[in-house]
């Protein structure tokens, strides 16, 4: 039987907009990987009456309820007490948790106040999830065919407790193994991808293919259920191959983190190095690359050439090109890429020059016009991009993504 879930976030600060409900995004993704359909997201303030009403409704429309928040030591942390009242469970003290909690405070060199002992009370007969990043334990129990799981609100606590406690508990509810592979796509939107694959997607039941829109890119999750991981992989392999045949040019990786990690892996495979010259992106490409551990094996460095003076004096862009064509132009992007490649001695070099807004330039170039250069062993190419009048952040991210995808494609073709 397929399981369904409702997520209930507890916290007035979410309703006030003081914090974002990032736990819901994380848990929805993780539950999908387990083959559990999330039907509803609910947010409730720190009010026992309204939380009880939300729980009563949730138990009628899902067989798994996950709550986040309200497990701490303060007066407004009422999740456990309200859940116990709603489901007819006693809230009982767990002596072993007091020893554990005192040890946590001692290891951190902190004095434990007595109100922290509230965290040692949990629903009678529950499965305990220890908190490896905080002090509030979580737990799970089943009542009347509904599984209730309580997780802490802070995202770093919630994420780790889900992996170490909640996920194993939920996996045990099914006799099937669920395996997923994620194909990450840049250059085509969710609607385009769905259109290409529509006839295949609607016919599939196991495995299934689901497109997801992400900021500036698209993901395809291919999921199979079987009696073992090996059997699930056998079901997945031909479907992944079929999808790759249809949209393979745009797939930049399977089960990868991002474009920059793929580019660095390709550079390392080829023993090649990279540098970057950035204007409108302000060092964003360099930041994203150096966020990846081990980047120093392939990335030599970058120049943020935000002014014409730095373009001319550091990157040796000819002043004549700047005067004739302006900084936002194909010839200048070409010269920037070749200049930083020569300065650093890298095998490949990226350049970006453009207008991220809010205004165009005195040559009549519009916001969103960006030139991206790639210099390498086989010469230099420049791509003109028109990202439109969007936010500065969106234009900068799109420029960085396009530059990295241009590099990825070149490295794929390199022998």
Q: Are residues 348 and 220 in the same domain?
A: no
CATH code at position 223: 3.30.70.2860
Mean pLDDT of 270-286: 97
Residue listed under structure tokens 């350049």: 351
Question: Is there a contact between 38 and 7 (Cβ–Cβ < 8 Å)?
Answer: yes
CATH code at position 306: 3.90.950.20
Instruction: Return d(Cα 262, Cα 393) in angstroms, integer.
Output: 22
Q: Are residues 12 and 80 in the same domain?
A: yes
Q: Which of 208, 238, 254 is the last residue of a domain?
A: 254
List the domain range (segments joined by +) for residue 184: 177-254
Q: Are residues 270 and 403 in the same domain?
A: yes
Q: Are residues 300 and 264 in the same domain?
A: yes
The predicted-structure confidence for 3-40, as pLDDT tens digits, reads as follows 899 999 999 999 999 999 999 999 998 998 888 889 99
The predicted-structure confidence for 351-393, as pLDDT tens digits, reads as follows 999 999 888 888 999 999 999 999 999 999 999 999 998 899 9
For 151, residues 6+ apart whose C-beta sits below 8 A from its C-beta are 23, 27, 66, 67, 68, 71, 129, 138, 157, 158, 161, 162, 166
210 exposure class (CB count in 10 Å sphere: 0-12, 13-18, 19+): middle
The predicted-structure confidence for 200-219, as pLDDT tens digits, reads as follows 888 888 998 888 877 788 99
Q: Are residues 15 and 152 in the same domain?
A: yes
Q: Which of 171, 186, 210 is the last residue of a domain?
A: 171
How big is the chain by its Cα radius of gyration, in Å? 26
Q: Which of 254, 282, 307 is the last residue of a domain?
A: 254
The structural domain count of the chain equals: 3
Q: Are residues 25 and 158 in the same domain?
A: yes
Q: Are residues 287 and 229 in the same domain?
A: no
Q: Are residues 264 and 314 in the same domain?
A: yes
């Amino acid at each position: 039987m397929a399981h369904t879930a409702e997520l209930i976030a507890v916290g007035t600060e979410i309703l006030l907009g003081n914090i974002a409900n990032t736990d819901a995004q994380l848990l929805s993704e993780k539950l999908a990987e387990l083959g559990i359909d999330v039907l509803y997201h609910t947010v409730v303030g720190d009010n026992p009456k309204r939380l009880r009403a939300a729980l009563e409704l949730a138990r009628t429309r899902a067989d798994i309820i996950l709550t986040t928040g309200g497990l701490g030591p303060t007066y407004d942390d009422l999740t456990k007490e309200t859940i116990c009242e709603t489901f007819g469970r006693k809230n009982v003290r767990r002596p072993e948790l007091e020893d554990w909690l005192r040890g946590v405070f001692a290891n951190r060199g902190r004095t434990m106040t007595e109100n922290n002992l509230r965290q040692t009370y949990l629903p009678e007969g529950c499965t305990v999830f220890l908190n490896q990043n905080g002090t509030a334990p979580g737990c799970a129990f089943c009542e009347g065919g509904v599984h209730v799981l309580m997780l802490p609100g802070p995202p770093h606590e919630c994420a780790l407790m889900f992996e170490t406690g909640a996920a194993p508990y939920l996996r045990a509810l099914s006799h099937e193994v669920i395996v997923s592979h994620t194909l990450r796509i840049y250059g085509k939107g969710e609607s385009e991808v769905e259109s290409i694959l529509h006839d295949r997607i609607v016919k599939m039941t196991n495995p299934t293919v689901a497109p997801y829109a992400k900021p500036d890119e698209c993901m395809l999750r291919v999921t199979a259920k079987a009696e073992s991981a090996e059997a699930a992989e056998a079901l997945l392999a031909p479907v992944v191959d079929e999808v790759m045949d249809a949209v393979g040019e745009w797939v930049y990786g399977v089960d990868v983190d991002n474009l920059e990690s793929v580019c660095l892996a390709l550079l390392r495979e080829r023993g090649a190095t990279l540098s970057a010259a950035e204007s409108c992106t302000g060092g964003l490409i360099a930041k994203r690359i150096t966020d990846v551990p081990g980047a120093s094996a392939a990335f030599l460095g970058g120049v943020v050439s935000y002014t014409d003076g730095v373009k001319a004096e550091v990157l040796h862009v000819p002043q004549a090109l700047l005067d004739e064509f302006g900084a936002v132009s194909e010839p200048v992007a070409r010269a920037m890429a070749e200049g930083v490649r020569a300065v650093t001695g890298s095998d490949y070099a990226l350049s970006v020059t453009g207008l991220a807004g809010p205004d165009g330039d005195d040559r009549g170039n519009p916001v969103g016009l960006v030139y991206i250069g790639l210099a390498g062993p086989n010469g230099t190419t420049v791509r003109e991009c028109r990202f439109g009048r969007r936010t500065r952040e969106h234009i900068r991210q799109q420029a960085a993504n396009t530059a990295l995808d241009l590099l990825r494609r070149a490295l794929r073709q390199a022998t």
